[in-house]
C-alpha cells in the first residue's frame, strides 16, 4: 500500500469529511500485529491543509468499504455525536454460508467479549452489551446467500457474530465460521454510509463503495449484476 493507493480510494471529499474505500486486510490503527495501518497514510489526504483527516469510526482489518474521516476538529466532534446518537446510516453487504429461512428480519442478541489465553472473541450472551442488526436477503445461489445488514448498534464483530447466531456464518470468517479455503478473505463490506448535514444549508452525504474484488464472484453466484 502507498499514499497514492490510498488517495485513489477516496470516494467523496468536501470541506468537512472524506469517505474512503478502505481495502480489506489493512488495519485502521497501529497495533502489535499491524505495522502497516491506515493512519500511516492519512497525510496523503491533507489536500493542502495543515491537518491530516482523522478517523470518525473504525472498521475491522478484514472489512472493506466506506470509512468516514473528519477533516477538522469541529467535524470530528459533530460526527462523534452523530454516531453516539445513531444518526449515521450504515449498510453492509456480506455473503454467508447457507442462509436464513426468511428473507428479512432482525437479530436482537446481546454480545460479550471473552478474553482467554488464546486471545479474545465475541459471543452471544445475555450478560453482554445490547446489539441489534436488521437484515434482508438480496440473493441466493449455490449454498450461499447475499445479505444486506444494517447495524442499529456498533459493537465489535457484531455482524459476524449475529450472522453466526442466525446459523449462516460469513464466508471467509476464520473466527466465527468454518475454516476458509486457502486465500479466501472475509466477505463483509461496508457498502454505504449516510451522513446528516454537518452545517446549515448542506445536504445529506450518501456514498456507496463498489464491491471488493474478492467478493465479486460470490455476489455473481447470488444474483448480483455489476
Where in the sequence numbering do the catalytic residues fall?
60
Cα-Cα-Cα-Cα dihedral sign, residues 50, 26, 175, 104: positive
Give the residue carrying C-alpha cell 446489539: 131
Cα distance between residue 123 and residue 212, in whole Å: 27
Alpha carbons 71 and 88: distance in angstroms, whole number: 17
Q: 3-state class of 12 per DSSP?
A: strand
Q: What is the rounded distance in angstroms from the CA atom of residue 104 to the CA atom of residue 111?
A: 21
Q: How far is CA 220 from CA 8, 99, 141, 146, 215, in A?
A: 25, 16, 9, 10, 9
What cell does 179 get? 475454516
Q: Shortest CA distance to 167 belongs to which of 157, 182, 181, 178?
A: 178
Show Cβ contacts of residue 78 under 8 Å, excluding neighbours closer than 6 positions. Answer: 70, 198
- Whether the Cβ atoms of residue 104 and residue 72 lie closer than 8 Å to each other: no
Nine-digit cell string for 67? 470509512
Amino acid at each position: 500500500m502507498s499514499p497514492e493507493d490510498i488517495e485513489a480510494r477516496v470516494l467523496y471529499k468536501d470541506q468537512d469529511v472524506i469517505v474512503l474505500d478502505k481495502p480489506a486486510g489493512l488495519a485502521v490503527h497501529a497495533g502489535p500485529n499491524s505495522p502497516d495501518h491506515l493512519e500511516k497514510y492519512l497525510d496523503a489526504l491533507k489536500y493542502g491543509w495543515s491537518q491530516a483527516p482523522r478517523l470518525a469510526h473504525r472498521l475491522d482489518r478484514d472489512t472493506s468499504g466506506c470509512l468516514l474521516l473528519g477533516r477538522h476538529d469541529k467535524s470530528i466532534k459533530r460526527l462523534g455525536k452523530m454516531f453516539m446518537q445513531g444518526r449515521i446510516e450504515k449498510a453492509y453487504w456480506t455473503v454467508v454460508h447457507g442462509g436464513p429461512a426468511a428473507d428479512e428480519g432482525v437479530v436482537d442478541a446481546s454480545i460479550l467479549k471473552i478474553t482467554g489465553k488464546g486471545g479474545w472473541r465475541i459471543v452471544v450472551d445475555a450478560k453482554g452489551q445490547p446489539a441489534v442488526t436488521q437484515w434482508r436477503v438480496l440473493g441466493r445461489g449455490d449454498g450461499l446467500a447475499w445479505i444486506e445488514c444494517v447495524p442499529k448498534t456498533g459493537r465489535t464483530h457484531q455482524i459476524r457474530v449475529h450472522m453466526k447466531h442466525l446459523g449462516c456464518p460469513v464466508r471467509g470468517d476464520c473466527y466465527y465460521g468454518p475454516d476458509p479455503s486457502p486465500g479466501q478473505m472475509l466477505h463483509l463490506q461496508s457498502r454505504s454510509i449516510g451522513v446528516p448535514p454537518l452545517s446549515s444549508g448542506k445536504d445529506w452525504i450518501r456514498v456507496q463503495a463498489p464491491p471488493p474484488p474478492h467478493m465479486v464472484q460470490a455476489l455473481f453466484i447470488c444474483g448480483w449484476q455489476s
